[in-house]
Amino acid sequence: MSIDRYLAIRHPMKNRRIFTLSRVRRLVVMTWLTAAVVVFPIALVSQVVTPVFGVQHDYCTEIWPSHVMRQVYDVAFLVCIYLIPGGAIVVLYTLVGFRLWAKDAHLQRQVT
């Protein structure tokens, strides 16, 4: 969404050519496939556990083959799901803000 806003403000004429209906549909499918791939390892390591003492309810938990694999997954998840998208949002909205601020300053100079 931030890419769309960036292109709409920075390149308004290109935006309609770039985001055609077929491209948007492909982006939606790619987004769902990426989400499925990212969480697939959780499906592989999740197990239902029945506690031996105390609690009478089964629960689902992640049982990883090794601590290193868990850490690698967690770091990859953090980078792919939070840092890259969050960084892109910050950069793109900063560029949009600068563009709007520059246009506002230009318009104010013309008025006075």
- CATH number for 81: 1.20.1070.10
Phi, psi of 19 (to 5 degrees): -100, 70
What's the total number of domains in the chain?
1
In 17-48, which positions are buried (b, 16+ CB within 10 angstroms) versus exposed (e)? eeeeeeeeeeeeeeeeeeeeeeeebeeeeeee
Query: In degrees rounded to 5, what are phi and psi of residue 68?
Result: -65, -45
- The share of the chain scoring above pLDDT 90, in percent, equals 53
Structural domain including 90 reads: 2-111
d(CA 97, CA 10): 10
In the predicted model, is pLDDT for residue 43 greater than 90?
Answer: yes
**Selected residue with higher pLDDT from 108 and 51:** 51
pTM of this prediction exceeds 0.85? no
CA distance 58 to 84: 36
